[in-house]
């Protein structure tokens, strides 16, 4: 199993540009989520999905869109990039266990918005 994969590893955008961060998992996990991590900070939940076709907002959803058309993929779209979105983005997945599940994280995407 490849686990959770994220592409690209690093991206530079100009203010106002849009882009999609890709996330895929091959473990048939129901839950997937996106976090951002700013320097020296913990992770903050952006959006999450409890299954194909179902998404919900986390702590910091503004400026981001998600969709979940398949179990495997959970892309994160930046609609109009802003310097405040410069961060490291992590995708995670887990199997539903009612609170005791283990989250598996991807290696992250470093995003720089100029």
Partner 1 sequence: DAKTTQPNSMESNEEEPVHLPCNHSTISGTDYIHWYRQLPSQGPEYVIHGLTSNVNNRMASLAIAEDRKSSTLILHRATLRDAAVYYCILRASGTYKYIFGTGTRLKVLA
The answer to whether 30 and 96 have CB atoms below 8 angstroms apart is yes
Q: Collapsing DSSP states into helix, strand and coil, what is residue 85?
A: helix
Q: How far is the CB of 90 from partner 1 (least distance, A)?
A: 5
Q: How far is the CB of 5 from partner 1 (least distance, A)?
A: 11
Calculated CA dihedral for residues 10, 29, 51, 20, nearest 10 degrees: 10
Cα distance between residue 70 and residue 36, in whole Å: 22
Q: Which residue, among 6, 63, 4, has the nearest Cα to 28 in the 3D structure?
A: 4
Give me the 70-109 binding string for partner 1, x by CB under 8 A, dash otherwise.
--------------------x-x-----xxx-xxxxxxx-
The answer to whether 61 and 35 have CB atoms below 8 angstroms apart is no
Give me the 1-40 binding string for partner 1, x by CB under 8 A, dash otherwise.
---x--------------------------x-x-x----x
The footprint of partner 1 on this chain (CB under 8 A) covers a number of residues equal to: 27
Q: State the residues that interact with partner 1 by CB under 8 A.
A: 4, 31, 33, 35, 40-45, 48, 50, 56, 58-59, 90, 92, 98-100, 102-108
């Amino acid at each position: 199993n490849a686990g959770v994969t994220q592409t690209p590893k690093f991206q530079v955008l100009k203010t106002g540009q849009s882009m999609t961060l890709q996330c895929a998992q091959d473990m048939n996990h129901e839950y997937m989520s996106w976090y951002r991590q700013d320097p020296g900070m913990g992770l903050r939940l952006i959006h999450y999905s409890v299954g194909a076709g179902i998404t919900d907002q986390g702590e910091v959803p503004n400026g981001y869109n998600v969709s979940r058309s398949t179990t495997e993929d959970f892309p994160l779209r930046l609609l109009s990039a802003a310097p405040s979105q410069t961060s490291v983005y992590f995708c995670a997945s887990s199997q539903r266990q009612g609170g005791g599940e283990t989250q598996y994280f991807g290696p992250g995407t470093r995003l720089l918005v100029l």
